[in-house]
Structure 1
C-alpha cells in the first residue's frame, strides 16, 4: 500500500516503488546490509552507534519465530534509534511503522527521522525497525526467477485484451517457489506477528506506552496494535489509511487502487498540459491510453511498463517528471526500463499478504473481475483485480485478521490526502468509521501517498505536530485546504 514514497526526491521515488509494489500486493528502498550490533539475550537491546550513520544507534532484538512456542527458534530484528536532541523535553518513544509490506524502518528513519525530531522539538526518541525478513533483520527469500521479479510482471498487469494466462502461470511459479524455498521464517511473516514483535520491542525499550507514526500498510499494522494492545498506546498517528475490512484486507487494498489512480490522475494531467505533453489537461488521458494500447501491439510490447510507471509515479508530484520522460520516450519509440524488486522485497510482500488471509482460488473469477475492472478503470487496465500468488498459496493463515472497533482510548489521529492513488480517501473513511470515537481524521486537500511532512500543507502538518507534542487533537474531523 504502502502503502508508499521517494531521500526526499530520489529516495522518495525509490520508496514509492516499494510502497506501490506492496500496496498493489503484487512501496521501497534498497535493501541495506545489517548494521553491526552485538547479539543480546532474548528481549533485550544492546545499543551501539550505527557504523553507517554515526548520529543514530543500532541494536538487534530476538523474537520468537512462532509465538505459540516462545522457547522455540527465534529470529532477529534490526532496530534503529535517533535520540531526542532535547533530553529535558523528552516525553517518550515515537515508533515509525514503515509501509509495504516489506518497507524497512531503517530507510524511513533515515528519510524522516531528523525532520520529525525537529518538528516535535525533541519530544521523543525516534525508533524504527526492519520487520521480519526485511533489510537488516534475518533475511528471507523465495529464490524467484529474476524475470518474475520485474514489476510489470510481478504485479498482475494483464496481457493485451485482458488475457490473464501469463499472470496465472507466474502466480503458480511464485507460490511454488516460496513454498519450496521460504522455510519457517517466510511462513511466519504476517501482520499479526509484526504486531506481536512491536510489543516485544516496546518491552525491550522499557516503555509502558509507545507513540507511533504508521504510514500506508503501517497504518494497518498500527491499527491492529491499537486494537490488541490499547493500554500500551500513547499518541497514535495513522497516515494514508485503507479499508480494514477483515474479510478482504490486502485483496481489498489492491482492488481499491483502481479508484485511487482515477482520483489522482487529474493532478498529473494538469502538470502534463503545463509541461507540453498535451494542449489541455483533458487531452492527457486519451493520449496516455492510446499510447499504452499502441505499445501493447508492438513486438515486445511495453504497454504494461508504461502503465506501471504511471501508477507508481502518481505517489508523488516529484515523480511526474519521470512519468513525462517515460511518455516522451515511448512516443519516440525508445525502450522503457523494466525495474525489478529484489528477491527479498518480493518474498516479504507476497508472503505477508498471503499469510494474512485466504484468497479465492478460482481462476475464472479473476478473469471476470479483470474484464469488468478494465472497462471501469482503464488507467489500471484490470491489474488491481487480477490474480496473485495468494490464489495458490499452501500456507494456511495462522491468525484471523483483527476487526477494528471503537473500544479503547481516544488517542488516534488519522491523516489522509484527498487524492491518494494507493489508499483512496473513500476507503480511509471506513477506517475512520471503524475507530469511532477513538479517532479524529485530518483530510488534506492534496494528491499523493503520504500526508504528514510530505506535501507542504501547513494545516495538516500542524495538526499532527500539535497532537504529537501537546496531545491536542482537533475537536472534530478537520479538512485542510491547500
Structure 2
C-alpha cells in the first residue's frame, strides 16, 4: 500500500506499516509588504465545457454530524450547518454520473463585515475536512471567525463524500501488524502478496470508478464548492496534502483565488521515490531531535539517555516476540513503530511516546498501542475509518512513476543504510502503488499565472513535509511567498503568535508577509 508517510494529515499523518509502511534572509515578524489583488472580481469558469451550473448550497442544521465529527464538542459561540455540492464523477464527462460532496459550515454568532467563506482542508489524502472546521473554529483567532464562515468539506472518496471502502477491517489489522522492515525474502514476498490483494479488493469494489479519486478531479470539485458557497473568488487554508491540492487548484484556476495559505508544503514536482526519501530524512531527523532532547533531560525522560538504542531494542524484541493483547491482536514491531511515528508529528507528544516505549518494555503496551491505533484510524470496536482506503486510492491514482517490486527491494536496502530507523519503512511505502491495478490520473503542475501572492508556510523541523519543500512550492507557483516557523512538528498555523499574526493579516486584509519572514520557535 502507499505508505502512511505519504499521507499527511494536519496534525499527524496516518496509516500503518504496510499501510503505514506501504501507507517538510531574516525578516521581522511584524514586517508586511506586497499586497495582492484581493478584489472580488469575476471568477473564470476553467471547468470542462458543458459542466452544469453549480447550485447554491442549501444549508441545514446537522446536530448528528456535529456529534460525530466534532465528538459532540459544539461551541455555543458558533452555529453549525451542513450542505452538499453535486459534482461529476469524471470532469471529462461533465454530464455523466455524479458524486455528492458533504460540507460543514461553522459561523460565529458575533460575525460582522463578513468577507466570505474560508475553505479548509486537513490533508491526508484521506482526512475529513468536516471535523477540521469544527476544530479550527475553537483554535484560530476570533478576528478570523468574525469575518469568515469556516467551511470544511470531505473530498470525493473521503469521510461522508462517496467514501472509498474496499479494505476489510481484518485485512487492515493484518497490514498494520506486518514487520516494519521485512529483511528476509519470504517476509518481503508476503507483503508484496498482501499489497496485491489490497489492490485487487479495491478494483473489485470499484471496477469503474477507482481511478476517479485523483487530486486533479478533487481540485475541480474545489472550484465547484467555491461556486456553491457563493464566493466569486476562493479563500483557502490547506494543510499538508491540502497544499498539494491547493497547488493543483492554483494552476488550474489562478484567476479564482482571493487568498491562499498552504501550510506544510508538499512539492508536487517530486516523484514518489523523491518524496518518500525526503520523508525518510525528515522523520529520521525528527527522531534524532527527540533522542537529543531525551538525552539532555535524561532525568525526566524514561528512556534516556539512549532513546534511539532503546527504541531499536524494543522493535527488535517485538519482531521476534510480539506481545499478546486482550483483543486477540499482538503488539508487533510494526504497530510499535507506527506509535513512534504518530508521536513525531508534534513535540508535545514526545514525552507520551517516551513513556509509552518504557511501559511497553515493562510489559504494559496499552499506551503505545493507542498511539498506533489513533494513527491508523482504528476504533475500539475493531472497525476503521476510511482514511487508509482513501489515502491509498488517491496517492496511487496520482502516481505516474513506473517502479518495480525489485526496485523497491533495492531502495529498502539502500535507505536502511542511509536512514537507519526510517529508511526501510519509507521504501516499503512505495510498494502499494507499484502493484496498484487501475489506470493512473496524474495531475497537472505549473505556475499559478495571474494569481495574487500565495503564502506558503514551512516548519524547519517538519518530518512529514520537509522544510525544503516550502521554497520549491513557492517557486513553482510563481506567486508564492515563504513564511517560516523555526519549530518542531507538522504544520505551523495557528501554533505561534508570529505565524497567527502573519496568516490572519493576510487572510483578512490581504497584507502579505515580507518575503522569507522567519518566526522564531517561541
Q: CA deviation at 1:3?
A: 1.6
Determine the C-alpha separation between the residues in 2 that align with 1:299 and 1:22.
19
The change in CA–CA distance for 1:219 and 1:19 in structure 2 (over 3 A counts) is farther
With 306-315 and 184-193 compared, the bigger mean Cα shift is at 184-193
Quote the residue 1:253 is aligned against: 275
Contact 1:22–1:101 (8 Å) recurs in 2: no
Residue 312 (str. 1) matches residue 342 (str. 2): yes
The total of aligned residue pairs comes to 451
* Residues in 2 aligned to 1:357 and 1:299: alpha-carbon distance in whole angstroms: 34
The residue number in structure 1 matching 2:180 is 157
1:424 aligns with 2:466: yes
Please name the residue that 2:147 is paired with.
Answer: 123
Assess if the C-alpha contact under 8 Å between 1:106 and 1:129 holds in 2.
yes
Q: CA deviation at 1:137?
A: 1.8
Unpaired runs of at least 5, structure 2: 1-5, 24-52, 67-73, 324-330, 378-383
- Offset of residue 294 of structure 1: 3.0
Q: Which of 8, 16, 25 is residue 3 of structure 1 equivalent to?
A: 8
How many angstroms apart in 1 are the aligned matches of 2:120 and 2:111?
19
Q: CA RMSD in A?
A: 2.7
Q: Which structure is richer in relative contact order (CA contacts within 8 A, separation 6 or more)?
A: 2
Instruction: Tell me the SS of whatever aligns to 1:405.
Output: coil
For 2:486, the equivalent position in structure 1 comes to 445
Aligned equivalent of 1:368, options 379, 401, 410? 410
Gaps of 5+ in 1: 7-14, 27-40
Correspondence 1:324 to 2:367: no
Larger displacement relative to structure 2 (407-416 or 205-214): 407-416
Q: Does the 8 Å CA contact 1:238/1:415 hold for their aligned counterparts?
A: yes
2 CA distance for matches of 1:104 and 1:238? 17
1:72-471 matches, within 5 Å, as 72-116=96-140, 118-120=142-144, 122-144=146-168, 146-149=170-173, 152-153=176-177, 157-160=180-183, 164-245=188-269, 248=271, 250-273=272-295, 274=297, 275-280=300-305, 283-298=306-321, 302-335=332-365, 337=369, 339=373, 340-341=376-377, 342=384, 344-386=386-428, 387-398=430-441, 400-405=442-447, 407-436=449-478, 438-454=479-495, 457-471=496-510
Instruction: Tell me whether 1:47 sits opposite 2:67 in the alignment.
Output: no
How far did residue 235 of structure 1 move? Answer: 0.9
CA distance in 2, matches of 1:112, 1:184: 36
Q: How far is the alpha carbon of 1:199 from its aligned partner? A: 0.7
Partners of 1:288 and 1:480 lie apart in 2 by 32
Question: What is the TM-score normalised by the length of structure 1?
Answer: 0.86
Any idea what the Cα deviations from partners look like across 1:66-117, whole Å, max 9, x if unmatched? 1122221111111111225454321122110220111101111111123336
Residue 146 of structure 1, CA deviation: 1.7
**Residue 57 of structure 1 pairs with residue 81 of structure 2:** yes
Note if contact 2:104-2:151 (Cα within 8 Å) is conserved in structure 1. Answer: yes
Moved beyond 6 Å, runs of 4+: 18-25
Q: Which residue of 2 aligns with 1:474?
A: 513
1:277-317 C-alpha deviation (Å, 9 max, x unpaired)? 3454xx22223223322332335772222222111210012
Distance change (3 Å), C-alpha of 1:426 and 1:276: same
- The 1:276–1:385 alpha-carbon spacing in structure 2 relative to 1, beyond 3 Å, is same
Sort the Cα spacing of 1:474 and 1:117 in 2 relative to 1 into closer, same or farther, 3 A.
Answer: closer
Q: Match of 1:36?
A: none
- Counterpart CA distance in 2 for 1:167 and 1:428 is 34
Which structure has the highest helix share of the two?
1
Per-residue CA deviation, residues 383-422 of structure 1 (Å, 9 max, x unaligned), is 1112432112221123x42223252323200111110110
How many Å apart are 1:20 and its aligned residue? 11
The alignment partner of 1:450 has SS state of: coil
1:413–1:215: structure 2 CA closer, same or farther, 3 Å change rule?
Answer: same
Output the CA distance in 1 between the equivalents of 2:9 and 2:498.
22
